[in-house]
Every structure is written in structure tokens, then in C-alpha cells.
Amino acid sequence: PPGVGKHDEL
Amino acid sequence: MNIFRFLGDISHLSAIIILLLKIWKSRSCAGISGKSQLLFAIVFTTRYLDLFTNFISFYNTSMKVVYVASSYATVWMIYSKFKATYDGNHDTFRVEFLIVPTAILSFLVNHDFTPLEILWTFSIYLESVAILPQLFMVSKTGEAETITSHYLFALGIYRTLYLFNWIWRYQFEEFFDLIAIVAGLVQTVLYCDFFYLYITKVLKGKKLSLPA
């Protein structure tokens, strides 16, 4: 999954 | 970052600013759903809890600060500063029907069962339906001020552009976030009816009026 805890989108 | 995400963020930011200016300049929040704005404040609060712990970029941090600050300022203007102009009789959508199911779903379907990740997931789900009280209010009053329809259009377009951003990121970055994509699709679909009215009416200089 996408960087869990590292969401880079607003 | 890609052009779709950037244009999406600009569209989102302009929607927020259009609304702030509309209320502040006209000193009135007539036709605006305070409930939707409350939901947006919850969305930003639960999504940006990592504001101080997870630095992505100056752009990311500054936009988060602007979103959170402006959403609270908007709620304050509606429920405090200009509450005399708040049209509570038409802002009657039952938000608990939005908050409870999205909260439950965020516990059941998420990327990681940790507090921050569940809150982020709740924020994504809630955002997809947060505009419903506003759309409900417009359908109840049967019309919307032109500036309000511009606000709604910019807000709707932002997540539509994000859909293209996710196609781009899947293609070029192997990035794929099904939760955000599905919620983004739901969010965009909810605007379709409004987009049709906006394009066929407002862009022709007419007032946005729903068939009562």
C-alpha cells in the first residue's frame, strides 16, 4: 500500500 | 507532483478562498451549509494530524496549514461572526448519517490499523460525502448564488483532477491508493448533477436554479 503514514498528497 | 495534482490543489485552494471572500465581503453566509463546512474542518483536522511529525515539503506543509486555518475561519464566520445570516432552516441534512458510516468503514477498510492511518482513512471517506449537506441545501432552496456555484464548481473539479493525478501516478510512479481512488470517484460522481447544471446554466449567465 502507499507509504502508510507517509501520505504525500493533500 | 504532476500538473493534474497541482491544478487540483489550486482549484481546491481557490474554492476555499472564494467561499471565505464571499462570506467576509458580503458579511453573509446565506445559502451556505454550515454542516458541510463543519465536515470539511473535521476532514482537514483528521487528515493533517501528521502536520508536525511528517514533513513532505514546504508546499505540502504550507497548504495544509492554509486549509486547516481557512476551514476553521469559515466555520467561525458561519456559526459565530455572521450567524444571524445562517440559514439553519434549510441546512437540515442529518450529518450523523455521514459521520457514523464513514467512521465504521474506516475501521473495517484501511491500509493499516493504527490511529493515524484510521483517522486519515476516515478523513478520505468523509470528504467524499462532505458536500452532501450543501448540495441538499441548494436543492431545498431551489437555487444558489452565482458565487456559491463557482465555489462548488472549483471544489468539485479539484477531486476530478485528482482522479487524473492518480492515473498519472499509476502510470509513471507505480503509485496506487485504492481507498483514495474509490472515495475520489464517489466524490466526483456526487457532483455530476451539479456540473451539468453549472455548465448548462451558470456558464450561460443564468442563475443556478434546481427544478424545485
Tell me: the pLDDT tens digits for B77-92? 999 999 999 999 999 9
Residue B208 predicted with pLDDT over 90: no
Instruction: Identify residue B58 by its one-letter amino acid code.
Output: F
**Residue B113 in domain:** yes
**Residue B211 in domain:** no
**Residue B184 in domain:** yes
Angle at B18 between CA B14 and CA B22, to 5 degrees: 170
**Residue B212 in domain:** no
**Residue B55 in domain:** yes
Q: What are B102-158's pLDDT values in tens digits? A: 999 999 999 999 999 999 999 999 999 999 999 999 999 998 999 999 999 999 999
Exposure of B124 by Cβ count < 10 A (0-12 exposed, 13-18 middle, 19+ buried)?
buried
When the pLDDT of each residue in chain B is averaged and rounded to a whole number, the result is 96
What's CA B188's distance to the chain center, in Å? 11
B9/A contact by beta carbon, under 8 A:
yes
**Residue B192 in domain:** yes
> What is the number of domains present in chain B?
1
Residue B211 predicted with pLDDT over 70: no
**Residue B210 in domain:** no
Q: Residue B10: its pLDDT value, please?
A: 98
Q: Other C-beta atoms within 10 Å of B99: how many?
A: 18
> Per the CB < 8 Å rule, is A1 touching B180?
no
> Per the CB < 8 Å rule, is A5 touching B162?
no
Q: Which residues span the domain enclosing B76? A: 3-205
Searching chain A, which residue's CA lies closest to the CA of residue B10? A10
**Residue B162 in domain:** yes
Q: What is the rounded distance in angstroms from the CA atom of residue B142 to the CA atom of residue B171?
A: 42
| Best of A4, A7, A8 to mutate (most B CBs within 10 Å, chain B) | A7
